[in-house]
């Protein structure tokens, strides 16, 4: 999002250009310099370092504890959960719940739907985003600013739930896979990151290809895309994760239980459990549900965890690219 | 053809001195670049159908009866009258939205800055990377997963209640208590977004010129004053940009999360404008126009907020989105 900031070369694009600190009188508290050019740490700073390390370790623990708790639950027996014995380690370790969930046809069907939607939607999104980003990266193009604003304006204003629903309905997409795939095919943020990448490509190769008689499509397919594997991989990951995690469009646009993605499966378990608890339903049923919920959470998250090392590397790079080069 | 070469090479070598290409007419531009324009056709169709057509669809808010976008029918302002003067529920959810958005802005917004500054002071790179990897993790999980994880965590047999009991308290069914809704929402928002939120600040921190620190040191600034006078001004543009964007989404308060988290028992504090729109729209098709009117009202407030935040930021600190 921040990429917009630097459409004009304001100092948003270049924080280093910010005004230097105002000159101050020497306070006489200058630390001695060590040979490496660093000021020797004052006792206060050393104390701060210790505090800082502890605080960050706390951040790590606080982030991980809910995950660990859910994983522990997913491997524990119902009785153990019911009697409040499950904390951070599984009690009465077993994989029955996993087998139970995995053999549930509704779960498997939903899981397969999620895979299907993610693959198709990511493909469509990549094609559209790449095309548009490439067009927007051509600075000489007449009307380029209008084309950019067509995209950027949608970040600040959108139709709202009801008009979106009405449009999907009138286009005949209601209760089809396309209601999930098409309406979110271009994320403007991803578009701007990709545009920034294309803008930073050296123009020489494209010019040479042009001299060799390649047309625009040929240049894009044979020259530009092979050189953009990094950004294409990043964007594919960006989109896959978004579509894998998405649930609200499915809630709104899909009626058929057989079309639902697995996120909706989990949402129904969760809504059922909360609703049941508030209606005072039989406690035993709820515990089974809590158990099943934990397993479903783990099974939805496993693919994300598997790509997480790549995600982290590429996402961070992608976000920085969008933020700084923009 | 040569024009491309000229513009792009000048950009390469000397960004400040740009040779402006000769103004072209549309006819020339189309003849020359029609292949490029053709690549933009499908994306433009996408924006038209799925972004601009729904915007146009807000016309439903002014129609008397439900129907399609291009339907005909009497125009009326009665739904806005109802919204402003005759619907106490609307005003309740309006204030719930403002409170929830305000809490998020005041509590959650500054935290990534603090965490980024803390990470910036870490000397051991391996430890820094480890903390980063862990704290980004929740960002990648589906909101459904996050909310059910929260629900498990604070349920009667969850870890939160076990800790409470160990401290001698009575278990609380947090997820069903209206007085706990805001706490749960803000806490989970912190848990999921703060780590990821540091990325942009860390990126901005790397661009601060080392010489500025050097100069500050020569002037006798200690660590604390360096942070205050060099680091913070260095990331100020990023802070302001993100603040403007946050103000723009202020009324939106992670709608998907609230929708999952709220239940009939917690509506008192948890119901926000977007969930109210969703509820009345799904409860009765005859309320389509009214639901549209509320949604439009919210979207316009959002647009006004971001535009004013932008103007204020440009006038006062000279950084803005556009």
Q: What is the ipTM of this complex?
A: 0.83
With an 8 Å Cβ cutoff, is B319 touching chain A? yes
Asked if residue A162 lies in contact with residue B279, where contact means CB atoms within 8 angstroms, the answer is: no
Asked if residue B147 lies in contact with residue B261, where contact means CB atoms within 8 angstroms, the answer is: yes
Q: Which residues of chain A neighbour B47 with C-beta distances below 8 Å?
A: 150-151, 154, 186
Same domain, B201 and B171: yes
Give A157 or B73, the one with higher predicted confidence.
Answer: A157
Q: Which residues of chain B neighbour A202 with C-beta distances below 8 Å?
A: 12
A21 to B229: CB separation less than 8 angstroms, yes or no: yes
Rounded CA separation A202/B6 (Å): 13
Give A205 or B297, the one with higher predicted confidence.
Answer: B297
Q: What is the pLDDT of residue B20?
A: 58
Rounded CA separation B5/B16 (Å): 17
pLDDT bucket at B50, cuts 50 / 70 / 90? very high
What lies within 8 Å, CB to CB, of A105 at 6+ separation is none
User: Domain A103-325: what homologous superfamily?
Assistant: MetI-like (1.10.3720.10)
Where do the domains of chain A lie?
A: 103-325
Instruction: Encode A169-196: b = buried (16+ Cβ within 10 Å), e = exposed.
Output: eebebbebbbbbbbbbbbbbbbbbbbbb
Taking CA–CA distances from B314, the nearest residue in chain A reads: A10
Asked if residue A260 lies in contact with residue A110, where contact means CB atoms within 8 angstroms, the answer is: yes
Query: Distance from A12 to chain B by nearest Cα, in Å?
Result: 5
Q: Which of A45, A184, A270 shows the shortest C-beta gap to B147?
A: A270
User: pTM (2 decimals)?
Assistant: 0.83
B118 to A55: CB separation less than 8 angstroms, yes or no: yes
- Contact residues, A window 255-284, toward B, CB-based 8 Å cutoff: 263-264, 266-267, 269-271, 273-275, 277-278
The torsion angles phi and psi of A71, rounded to 5 degrees, stand at -60, -45
pLDDT score of B221 more than 90: no
B140 to A158: CB separation less than 8 angstroms, yes or no: no
The pLDDT tens digits of the residues spanning A227-278 come to: 888 888 888 988 999 999 999 999 999 999 899 999 999 998 888 765 544 4
Q: What is the pLDDT of residue A26?
A: 41
B39 to A244: CB separation less than 8 angstroms, yes or no: no
- Residue among A101, A85, A115 nearest A298 (CA): A101
A133 has which bridge partners?
none
Query: Distance from B84 to chain A by nearest Cα, in Å?
Result: 19
A162 to B260: CB separation less than 8 angstroms, yes or no: no
With an 8 Å Cβ cutoff, is B170 touching chain A? no
Query: Distance from B229 to chain A by nearest Cα, in Å?
Result: 5
DSSP tally for chain A: helices H, then strands E: 15, 0
DSSP type of residue B318: S
pLDDT score of B61 more than 50: yes
The residue assigned the tokens 């040191």 is B217
The pLDDT tens digits of the residues spanning B235-290 come to: 988 898 888 888 877 787 788 999 999 888 888 898 999 999 999 998 888 888 89
Domain of residue B135 covers 78-316
- Residue among B177, B132, B141 nearest B257 (CA): B141
pLDDT bucket at B2, cuts 50 / 70 / 90? very low
DSSP type of residue B320: -
Q: What is the mean pLDDT of chain B?
A: 85
The burial class, CB within 10 Å (0-12 / 13-18 / 19+), for A74 is buried
pLDDT score of B210 more than 80: yes
**B112 found inside a domain:** yes
**B71 found inside a domain:** no
Query: Distance from B297 to chain A by nearest Cα, in Å?
Result: 10
Regions of chain A short of the pLDDT cut 50? 1-37, 276-287, 325-326
CA-CA-CA-CA torsion sign (A168, A172, A174, A175)? negative
Same domain, B13 and B127: no
Q: Which residues of chain B neighbour A308 with C-beta distances below 8 Å?
A: 137, 140
Rounded CA separation B282/B286 (Å): 10
Rounded CA separation A21/A92 (Å): 61
Rounded CA separation B247/B262 (Å): 23
**B305 found inside a domain:** yes
CATH number for the domain that contains residue B240:
1.10.3720.10
Same domain, B111 and B42: no
Report the residue count for chain A.
326
Residue B144, CA distances (Å) to A147, A264, B312 in order:
35, 8, 37
Residue A153, CA distances (Å) to A93, A188, B51 in order:
53, 9, 10
- Contact residues, A window 130-189, toward B, CB-based 8 Å cutoff: 131-132, 134-135, 138-143, 147, 150-151, 154, 156-167, 170-171, 182-186
| The pair of three-digit structure tokens given for residue B186, joined into one six-digit string | 């803000």
Rounded CA separation A219/A225 (Å): 8
DSSP type of residue B123: -
Give B64 or B117, the one with higher predicted confidence.
Answer: B117
Q: Which of B62, B96, B114 is the last residue in one of the domains?
A: B62
Biggest distance spanned by C-alpha atoms of chain A: 76
Q: Which of A59, A134, A166 shows the shortest C-beta gap to B60?
A: A166
Question: Could you give the number of structural domains in chain B?
Answer: 2
| The pair of three-digit structure tokens given for residue B105, joined into one six-digit string | 């802005």
**B194 found inside a domain:** yes
Asked if residue B92 lies in contact with residue B177, where contact means CB atoms within 8 angstroms, the answer is: no
- Residues A181, A184, A185, A191: what is their CA dihedral angle, to the nearest 10 degrees? -160
Rounded CA separation A51/A57 (Å): 10
Same domain, B239 and B309: yes
Same domain, B135 and B13: no
Same domain, B288 and B170: yes
Residue A284, CA distances (Å) to A78, A82, A281, A287 in order:
8, 8, 9, 5
Asked if residue B61 lies in contact with residue B292, where contact means CB atoms within 8 angstroms, the answer is: yes
With an 8 Å Cβ cutoff, is B304 touching chain A? no
A65 to B159: CB separation less than 8 angstroms, yes or no: yes
| The pair of three-digit structure tokens given for residue A1, joined into one six-digit string | 């999002």
**B186 found inside a domain:** yes
Same domain, B146 and B27: no
pLDDT bucket at B7, cuts 50 / 70 / 90? very low
Rounded CA separation B154/B121 (Å): 34
pLDDT bucket at B126, cuts 50 / 70 / 90? very high
Q: What is the arithmetic mean of pLDDT over B104-117?
A: 94
The pLDDT tens digits of the residues spanning A284-305 come to: 444 456 788 899 999 999 999 8
- Contact residues, B window 214-233, toward A, CB-based 8 Å cutoff: 215-217, 219-223, 225, 229-230, 233
Tell me the H-state helices in A157-261. 161-170, 178-181, 188-199, 204-211, 216-218, 225-227, 229-245, 248-253
Residue B90, CA distances (Å) to A291, B268, B301 in order:
38, 12, 14
Count of C-beta atoms within a 10 Å radius of residue A144: 16
């Amino acid at each position: 999002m921040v990429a917009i900031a630097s459409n004009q070369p304001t100092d948003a694009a270049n924080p280093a250009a910010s005004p230097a600190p105002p000159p101050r009188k020497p306070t006489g508290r200058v630390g001695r310099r060590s040979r490496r050019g660093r000021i020797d740490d004052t006792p206060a700073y050393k104390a701060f370092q210790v505090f800082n390390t502890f605080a960050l370790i706390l951040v790590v623990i606080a982030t991980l504890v809910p995950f660990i708790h859910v994983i522990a639950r997913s491997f524990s027996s119902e009785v153990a959960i019911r009697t409040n014995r499950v904390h951070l380690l599984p009690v009465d370790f077993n994989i029955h719940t996993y087998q139970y969930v995995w053999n549930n046809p509704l779960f498997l069907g939903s899981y397969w739907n999620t895979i299907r939607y993610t693959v198709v939607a990511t493909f469509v999104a990549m094609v559209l985003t790449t095309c548009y980003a490439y067009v927007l990266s051509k600075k000489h193009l007449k009307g380029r600013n209008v084309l950019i604003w067509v995209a950027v304006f949608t970040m600040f204003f959108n139709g709202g739930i009801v008009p979106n629903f009405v449009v999907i309905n009138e286009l005949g997409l209601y209760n089809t896979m396309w209601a999930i795939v098409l309406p979110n095919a271009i994320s403007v943020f991803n578009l701007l990151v990709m545009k920034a990448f294309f803008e930073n490509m050296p123009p020489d190769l494209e010019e040479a290809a042009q001299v060799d008689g390649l047309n625009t499509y040929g240049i894009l397919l044979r020259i530009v895309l092979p050189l953009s594997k990094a950004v294409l991989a990043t964007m594919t990951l960006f989109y896959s994760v978004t579509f894998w995690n998405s649930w609200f469009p499915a809630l709104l646009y899909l009626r058929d239980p057989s079309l639902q993605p697995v996120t909706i499966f989990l949402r129904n378990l969760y809504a059922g459990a909360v609703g049941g608890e508030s209606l005072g339903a039989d406690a035993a049923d709820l515990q089974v549900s809590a158990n099943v919920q934990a397993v479903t959470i783990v099974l939805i998250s496993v693919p994300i965890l598997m790509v997480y090392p790549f995600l982290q590397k590429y996402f961070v790079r992608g976000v920085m690219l969008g933020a700084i080069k923009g | 053809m040569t024009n491309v070469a000229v513009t792009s090479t000048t950009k390469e070598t000397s960004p400040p001195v740009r040779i402006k290409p000769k103004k072209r007419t549309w006819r020339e531009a189309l003849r020359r670049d029609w292949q490029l324009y053709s690549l933009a056709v499908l994306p433009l169709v996408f924006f038209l159908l799925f972004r601009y057509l729904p915007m146009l669809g807000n016309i439903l808010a002014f129609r008397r009866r439900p129907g399609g976008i291009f339907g005909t029918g009497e125009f009326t302002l009665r739904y806005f009258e109802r919204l402003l003067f005759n619907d106490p529920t609307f005003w309740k959810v309006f204030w719930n939205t403002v409170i929830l958005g305000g809490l998020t802005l005041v509590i959650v917004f500054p935290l990534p800055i603090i965490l980024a500054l803390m990470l910036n002071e870490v000397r051991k790179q391996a430890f820094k990377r480890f903390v980063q990897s862990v704290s980004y993790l929740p960002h990648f999980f589906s909101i459904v997963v996050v909310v059910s994880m929260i629900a498990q965590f604070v349920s009667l047999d969850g870890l939160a209640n076990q800790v409470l009991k160990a401290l001698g308290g009575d278990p609380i069914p947090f997820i069903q208590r209206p007085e706990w809704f805001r706490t749960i929402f803000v806490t989970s928002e912190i848990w999921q977004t703060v780590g990821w939120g540091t990325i942009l600040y860390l990126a901005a921190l790397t661009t601060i010129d080392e010489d500025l620190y050097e100069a500050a040191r020569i002037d006798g600034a200690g660590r604390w004053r360096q942070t205050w006078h060099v680091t913070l001004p260095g990331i100020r543009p990023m802070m302001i940009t993100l603040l403007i964007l946050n103000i723009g989404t202020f009324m939106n308060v992670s709608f998907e999360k609230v929708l999952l988290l709220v239940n009939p028992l917690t509506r008192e504090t948890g119901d926000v404008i977007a969930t109210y729109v969703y509820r009345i729209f799904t409860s009765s098709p005859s309320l389509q126009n009214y639901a549209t009117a509320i949604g439009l009202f919210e979207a316009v407030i959002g647009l006004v907020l971001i535009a004013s935040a932008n103007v204020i930021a440009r006038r006062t600190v000279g950084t803005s989105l556009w």
